Structure 1
Amino acid sequence: MRETIVFIHGLTGSKQAFRKQIAYLADSYNTYVYDLLGHGEDRGKAVDFTLKNLVKQLEDFFEEKGIERAHICSLSYGCYPSTIFANKWQDKVLSLCFIGGHYNSPSPLRDIFQQYWDCRNEPYPLWLKKYSHAIYPKDGLIDPYSIVSNKVYYKYGLELHKDILRDALEHRLNYDLRSDLASLTLPVLWVMGDHDSLYKSSLRDLDQVIPHVVYSELKHAGHAANLFQPNCFKEVYGVFLGDFSSVNPRYA
């Protein structure tokens, strides 16, 4: 019986973020992807963008598709609903893969989240432009990865309802994702781009939070490492999926 993978995109993105991964995994796995609340066909609409509703959306998706157990692969902010779901429904999740994942540890990343939460009442286009530059700073004099991420985040962020990114900031500042991550016993793969310095700053104690984590850093990649280096990610995730049962014998 074929195993299942559910992909969850990040803020301002869409299910298209995983089209290459689905293309090369669909022959071996049942693959599913969906758009987060307020994204995709609902882009621009006002939604109740709470963690409770995001987890409920994932629960409803499992039920709608008849998914009993699945690997979950999430990008950036997608690590929040996927982790909460995995702790709530441990028997439904085979493994977790986080791409550009982060959590609420003291770090330069959290400082930026706090800074832009404090000035969240500025006019949205201006706020978003400054925020996009802050979360995707240049790593060196020439950093095409940051430039691309900055432009994409700003362009598609403008199409979202103005409350979504601000609500997500509140989640990142006040929800204790670190504790949820520390409770995980299932296999975890954590993938980061080597140029994703700001987001990596939140992971300084990752090996203490998740002692069994498999960490992989992709060369020549920014925040959305699977988009910058799809072939490298294919290799890393393929090996993990093939070996995950040996990481935790419970799933053998």
Structure 2
Amino acid sequence: MIEKHLSGTPIHYWIKEKELAESILFVHAAFADHTSFDEQIEFFAKEYQVITLDLIGHGKSIKTQKGDNISKTADYIYKLLEIEGINKIHLVGISIGALLIQDFANKFPDKVASLCCIGGYNINNFDSALQKENSGEQVKMMLKAVISIKWFAKSNKLISAFTTEGQEKFYNMNIRFKKRSFMYLAELKNLINKFKVTNRTYPILIGCGKYDIPMAIKAANMWHESEPKSKMVVFENAGHLVNMDTPQEFNENLIIFLKGNYEV
């Protein structure tokens, strides 16, 4: 992977170039970084040009300017595509990454080849009751982080990953997360229910882990039921971070989806 810095932004990204191949961008969960997709890179690089990045406030994307925040992610991605000369891209997002790629798709639908959202919900139609429940849980976790990042990381790994391997990898990412980076995430709320609900013109894969929290599973099912062009997958032996808990199952399902072999 070649590491690059997206000029004029805090974003660092990595690309495994493959001439004339379709491109895939993987967007990680909150409190993680681009290395959460280590198990995907070599698998998909056989046929695709693979790109990963560190979201603002995560990993190497921490040198910010006034006004930088998570709500600008769609614009960062658009600039990345322009620089790399990519017309359309397959977008894969985990958790917060699933929300951010939807925002990109809302703003730049002609740039989207497909959308794969794991552990997310429909940002164009997020149920108010679920939204309140989700916000309450986020506040509890943030309070733990304010007191101790290690305490936060130990708690977060248990509700985010199901397997021991997934939990330990996520924990090691969490403890590197800086407390000041929480402020960059605050603008995420401004992306919710901002656009009118419309049927998407590109294929969409919605997924969650069998052992994710009930709210996340309910939200994924509600989204799938309202999205006629979607495919829903529940991953066995996985929690919220499906790609780290069950990388082989995730990779196999995603490649089938990308090749258009899913019946929806």
Match for residue 111 of structure 1 among 133, 144, 156: 133
For residues 119 and 26 of structure 1, the distance between their equivalents in structure 2, rounded to whole angstroms, comes to: 35
Q: What SS class does the counterpart of residue 94 from structure 1 fall into?
A: strand
Among candidates 74, 77, 90, match of residue 109 of structure 2: 90
Residue of structure 1 aligned with 2:208, choices 172, 179, 192 = 192
Q: Cα distance 1:178–1:239, how it changes in 2: closer, same or farther (>3 A)?
A: farther
Letter in 2 for 1:184: R
The match for 1:236 is 253
How big is the shift at 1:240? 0.7
The separation in 2 between residues aligned to 1:223 and 1:66, in whole angstroms, is 33
The offset of 1:132, in angstroms, is 6.6
Q: CA offsets, 1:22-44, max 9 Å, x none?
A: 2111121111111111212235x
Larger helix proportion of the pair: 1
Per the alignment, residue 24 of structure 1 pairs with 43
Q: Which runs of 5+ in 2 are unaligned?
A: 1-19
CA contact (8 A) 1:100 1:191 kept: yes
- What's the CA shift for 1:124? 0.8
Do 1:196 and 1:221's aligned partners in 2 also have CA atoms closer than 8 Å? yes
For the Cα contact (< 8 Å) 2:32–2:173, is it kept in 1?
yes
Cα distance in structure 1, aligned partners of 2:225 and 2:217? 15
Partners of 2:260 and 2:187 lie apart in 1 by 36
User: 1:197 and 1:70 mapped to 2: Cα distance?
Assistant: 30
Contact 1:125 1:158 in 2 (8 A): no
Contact kept? 1:74, 1:82, Cα under 8 Å: yes
Matched, 1:100 2:119: yes
Q: TM-score, normalised by structure 1?
A: 0.77
Q: Which runs of 5+ in 1 are unaligned?
A: 139-143, 248-252
What whole-Å deviation, never above 9, does each CA across 1:104-154 have from its counterpart, x for those lacking one? 32456741423543895777134883697379549xxxxx71776666555
Closer, same or farther: CA 156–21 of 1 in aligned 2, 3 Å: closer
Aligned to 1:210: 227
- 1:100 positional shift: 1.6
Letter in 2 for 1:61: L
| Alpha-carbon contact 2:235-2:250 (below 8 Å) kept | yes
Q: Secondary structure of the residue that 2:60 maps to in structure 1?
A: helix
| Alpha-carbon distance, 1:71 to partner | 0.6
For 2:76, the equivalent position in structure 1 comes to 57
What is residue 141 of structure 1 aligned with on the other side?
none
Contact 2:25-2:92 within 8 A present in 1 as well: yes
RMSD, aligned α-carbons = 3.4
CA deviations on 1:75-116 (whole Å, 9 max, x unpaired) are 110112211111211111100011222353245674142354
Shift in alpha-carbon separation, 1:179–1:202, aligned structure 2, 3 A: farther
Tell me the matched-pair count.
Answer: 240
Q: Percent identity?
A: 22
Cα distance change of structure 1 residues 156 and 177 upon mapping to structure 2, 3 Å threshold: farther
- Aligned partner of residue 202 in structure 2, secondary structure: coil
8 Å CA contact 1:102, 1:200 repeated in 2? no
Whether the 8 Å contact between 2:141 and 2:156 is mirrored in structure 1 is no
SS of aligned partner of 1:82: helix
Change (3 A) 1:162 1:238: same
Distance 1:67 1:38 in 2: 25
1:203 CA drift (Å): 2.6
Label 1:191 to 1:112 Cα distance change in 2 as closer, same or farther (>3 A).
closer
Which residue identity lines up with residue 213 of structure 2 in the other structure? S
Distance 1:178 1:188, change over 3 A: farther
The 8 Å contact of residues 158 and 167 in structure 2, kept in 1 or not, is answered as yes
